[in-house]
A and B are shown apart, each in its own frame.
Chain A
Amino acid sequence: MGLEIKLTVNGNTHTAELEPSTALVDFLRDTLGYKGVKLCCNTGECGACTIIMDGKPVNSCVVLGADAAGADLVTVEGIADGDELHPVQQAFIDTGAVQCGYCTPGFIVSLKALLDRTKSPTAEDVEEAISGNICRCTGYTKIFDAVDLAAKRMS
């Protein structure tokens, strides 16, 4: 084993060892057990592994685990308030935006990061925020609907 790093994930502090070459997605999934972070393209293109790192959404497959030393991370597991879903999570369910659901964590994290930045995002803001997330099931229509519903409920 190589480095020992300390980081915060969803408010929990972890200290763990990792190889310097380990991608953050693998470290989060395999070492720390945050399997809601989804593995897919490994090239930073699909957004399935999106997490929030020090306030910014990042594709964790193209970030080294070692770069998360001292960082404050939020994964999809850290977005609900206990049993109470975040409005975006509830809206995804209510609008039928979850089909296979594999891309869902990435979309929810990207939208959470957007809403953390701005309380009233424009349509362009939304499109930009999730233009790096690929969904192959829905054709995005129900995801547009979910965003609209969440915005309505939050305003």
Chain B
Amino acid sequence: MAKAEYTVLGTDMPRKGGVERVVGKGVYGIDLNLPDALSGGVLRSEHAHAKIVNIDTSEAKAIPGVRAVVTAADAPDVRYGRSYIDRYILAKDKVRYMGDPVAAVAADSQALVKEALGKIKVTYEPLPVVVDPEETMKESAPTIHEDMPLPKNLPEGVQVKNVCGYAAVNIGDAEAAMAEADVVVDEVYETKMIHPQYLEPRIAAARPEEDGRITVWANAQAPFPVRTEVASLTGLPLNSVRVISTGIGGGFGGKGSGVTSSAGLEPICALLALTAKQPVMIVMDKAEETISTTIRSGCKIWIKTGAKKDGTLVARQGKVVYDAGGYSGFGNQAGGRCTQMVGGWYRLPNIHMDGFTVYTNKQVCGPVRGPGGPQATFAMESHMDSLAAELGMDPIEFRLKNVPEKGDGIVGVPKLRDSSLAETLNTAKEKIGWGKVKLGKNQGIGFATGAWIEGAGPGGGAVVKMNEDGSATVHIGKVDYGTAAPFGIPMIVAEVLGISTDDVTVLNVDTDASPWDAGTVGSRSMLVSGNAVKLAAEDARDQILRMAAGQLEASPEDLEIVDRQIQVKGAPSRSVSLASVCNAGHNEIGDVIGRGYFDSKASQADERERGSSQPFTTHAALVEVDADTGNVKILKYVAVHDVGFVVHPKAVEGQIEGAAAMSLGQALCEQVVHDSDGRTLNPTFVDYLMPTINMLPRIEAVTVSGYPGAGPYGTKGAGEIGSVPPMACIANAIYNATGVRVRRLPLSPENVLRALREAGK
């Protein structure tokens, strides 16, 4: 698909909403101005595991200016969750991590909120705390959820405790095949918890309306799931709840998993507003967020792989223990995906994996950028390098020997429509200069590949409403936080309708008006809303051309729209303006409203018939390791991706670079640290280290032609896959530089130096 086919697609049009953001007029959740709103705040548990014996709110309620104090007793006896429905709006009977919400206050000022929170007397009976999921699985461990059963799919005879998710991969006969291998490598890897640390704090605001409804404002990635849960947890009918998405300052999945990700902030705020009968707004403090909202879990991965002398992979066995935290959250989904991905995306006929997702007394797992993928890949792709070394093979050649091809299956994908993994490997090899660049002392090059399975998943719609001047107003269910909504979506509408992106307005989500959507998650904005909006714009165009056909005395099929003019193909002088047709439409059909939806069932059928199209990637890094300090400096970083057709090159590069940077942060420095009591030791930005501009190189994002994806015009998701390879890529570069394999994140000076010393270097 050459760019020349298109007028708008493939160009770098300026971000919608860019001007207001650079002049400080971008309105985010935190900038919401809600007249007469009370301030709200949440009391959080000071114990990681304890029984709640009593909560006395009388003193707090007696403070003048305090308008509402709520606990679980003030809410319906209803719980929420995804695979396990295990969590109350506010902790009831027990707290399960330090940061668990226990009570909430609304008052005339923030100072009064603080005072009232301090006057709530909670009597706890502390229980033994477990922070290590391996310990928590043992029979001797304390029980974290008394009434939650073990997963139904657990294999017989497995003796475990506190497990809230089990995933298996069973392909071929791994045990028998392993015995036939010439070389077997058996390793254990470990990753730590990180927080997504989007910059805009979470907010929630709620206003009871005169008609008995409630309006909720949220800077959440999934306004419709928030609506469902607010209704359920406050006891209001669904149609009495309206959720409006504010502008959003970053999310990365951290604002993604319904109300789970915010530790219930939206329903808590709604409960306060309903109790006080006044609007309430809560703004979280960043340290409060680090201890209470959802995170990327740490996990431990056992991986053993056998190969033939020529490098052919024959068998893999392994186990994943994935930390869910105090509630199941997104743990089962992320732990399951992690388990699959340790199985890998190479040709491997025999795989057995067991994945356990386990409750602990820590923050709850959420769907942070590529949930489960970066951790799995740190283990899997480091392990591939260990195997290459054991076999005495070049790491690129070893991988190329095992790449899947068209028609092959990989874990989670029965049949690939095609494969571009080899293309990304070869391009990365060339771009980084493997075998060509002269390496200095303690310098090394590492590679890691990645995949991020794109499947049919939930559907979603779009509405394109034409205005009488020929401009278009677009409703989708995805929010604008700098991904497809302000870049690719308006471009598709402009392309189809022959108008400029200046003529397209994409509205943010309002559950009263927008089409339902599962959320701006899973690298699915182009797949779902992109496909839907293309069909909606085509539907609008067809209606317009039918109306214009009479005026131009031509059939609709012979018409096209070019630069806001409807003209006869091949005879452009026979034309009429788009605006005049839209305007005249008022007297015929009212207005032109195009509708489209992403047809998940059709997409599934297509996958079955033709195979599934998947994105693939290879990253390459050149690093220098300081043998005295253990410090790792990245000198060059290349991220090669097949993301199918590229609608907006700079936006796609930006997604890849940002995703890579987040995982480079986890590779080098990021981690949430706990003591044995479950206390977070680094909740503020002073102690939670993140990459700044002087820590990172300019990431070179390269897109290869690959093969078309299931998105509009052949796009594939690009938001998460960039976060998959970096941790392994850096670990492999350190190995190449020093001969030392570091199997535990972060690859901080401390951990690298320890590994060097242990290896006698």
Contact = CB atoms under 8 A, between A and B. Distances in A.
Contact of B25 (A36, A127, A134, A137): A36
A130 to B, nearest CB: 6
A97 to B, nearest CB: 8
B569 interface: no
Given A96-B15, A100-B481, A101-B26, A42 B653 contact: no
Contact of A93 (B15, B653, B657, B696): B15
Given A139-B657, A141-B657, A45 B685 contact: yes
A144 B197 CA distance: 22
Contacts of B248: 100
B699 A89 contact: no
Contacts of A43: 286, 684-686
Contact of A40 (B25, B199, B653, B654): B199
Contacts of B660: 139
B21 A98 contact: yes
Contact of A102 (B250, B285, B685, B694): B250
Interface string A135-155: 111111111100000000000
A49 B26 CA distance: 14
B286 A131 contact: no
Contacts of B658: 99, 136-139
B interface, over-half SS:
loop
A75 B23 CA distance: 9
A113 interface: no
Interface in B1-25: 12, 14-15, 17-19, 21-25
A36 B147 CA distance: 48
B250 A39 contact: no
A96 B650 contact: yes
Nearest to A130: B693
Interface string A113-124: 000000000000
Interface in B366-401: none
Contacts of B197: 136
Interface string A28-68: 00000011111111110110100000000000000000000
B694 A93 contact: no
B699 A35 contact: no
Q: Which of B249, B685, B698 has the most CB of A within 10 A?
A: B249
Contacts of B252: 136
B199 A105 contact: no
Contacts of B285: 42
B28 interface: yes
A140 B693 contact: yes
B684 A136 contact: no
A137 B24 contact: no
Contact of B24 (A35, A96, A134): A35
B692 A34 contact: no
B198 interface: yes
B199 A103 contact: yes
Contacts of B482: 98-101, 137
Contacts, number: 175
A4 B145 CA distance: 54
A75 B24 CA distance: 8
B661 interface: yes
Contacts of A93: 14-15, 18-19, 22
Contacts of A79: 23
Interface in B105-129: none
Contacts of A100: 198-200, 248-251, 481-482
Nearest to A103: B199
A89 to B, nearest CB: 4
Contacts of B659: 139
A73 interface: no
A106 to B, nearest CB: 9
B563 interface: no
Q: Which of A89, A135, A140 has the most CB of B within 10 A?
A: A140
B201 interface: yes
A77 interface: yes
B653 A96 contact: yes
A132 B321 CA distance: 37
Interface string B219-258: 0000000000000000000000000000011111000000
Nearest to A106: B199
Q: Which of B21, B684, B693 has the most CB of A within 10 A?
A: B693
A115 B685 CA distance: 27
Contacts of B287: 42
B653 A142 contact: yes
A38 B248 CA distance: 12
Contacts of A144: 693, 698
Given A40-B199, A101-B249, A134 B690 contact: yes
A36 to B, nearest CB: 2
B24 A102 contact: no
A96 B685 contact: no
Contacts of B196: 136
B750 interface: no
B662 interface: yes
A38 B24 CA distance: 9
A103 B650 CA distance: 18
A105 B693 contact: no
Given A45-B686, A101-B249, A138 B654 contact: yes
A24 interface: no
Nearest to A145: B698
Contacts of A40: 199-201, 286, 685
B430 interface: no
A141 to B, nearest CB: 4
Given A79-B23, A96-B15, A38 B692 contact: no
Interface in B629-666: 650-651, 653-654, 657-662, 664
Interface in A68-109: 75-77, 79-80, 85, 89-90, 92-96, 98-105, 108
B701 interface: yes
Contacts of A45: 684-686
A35 B691 CA distance: 26
Nearest to B487: A96
Contacts of B251: 100
A102 B23 contact: no
Nearest to A147: B693
Contacts of B664: 139
B693 A143 contact: yes
A134 B698 contact: no
Given A38-B249, A127-B694, A134-B692, A102 B28 contact: yes
A136 B690 contact: yes
A9 to B, nearest CB: 12
B23 A85 contact: yes
A38 B200 contact: yes
23 contacts: A38-B28, A43-B685, A46-B685, A93-B18, A93-B19, A94-B14, A96-B12, A96-B15, A99-B481, A100-B248, A101-B26, A102-B200, A103-B199, A104-B21, A131-B692, A136-B198, A137-B482, A138-B658, A139-B658, A139-B699, A141-B661, A142-B657, A143-B693
Given A38-B200, A138-B661, 8 more contacts: A39-B30, A45-B684, A95-B650, A96-B651, A102-B250, A127-B694, A139-B657, A141-B698
Interface of A: 34-43, 45-46, 48, 75-77, 79-80, 85, 89-90, 92-96, 98-105, 108, 127-128, 130-144
Interface of B: 12, 14-15, 17-19, 21-28, 30-31, 196-201, 248-252, 283, 285-287, 481-483, 650-651, 653-654, 657-662, 664, 684-686, 690-694, 696, 698-699, 701
Ranked nearest first, the 3 interchain pairs of A and B with the lowest CB-CB distance are A36-B24, A139-B661, A102-B249
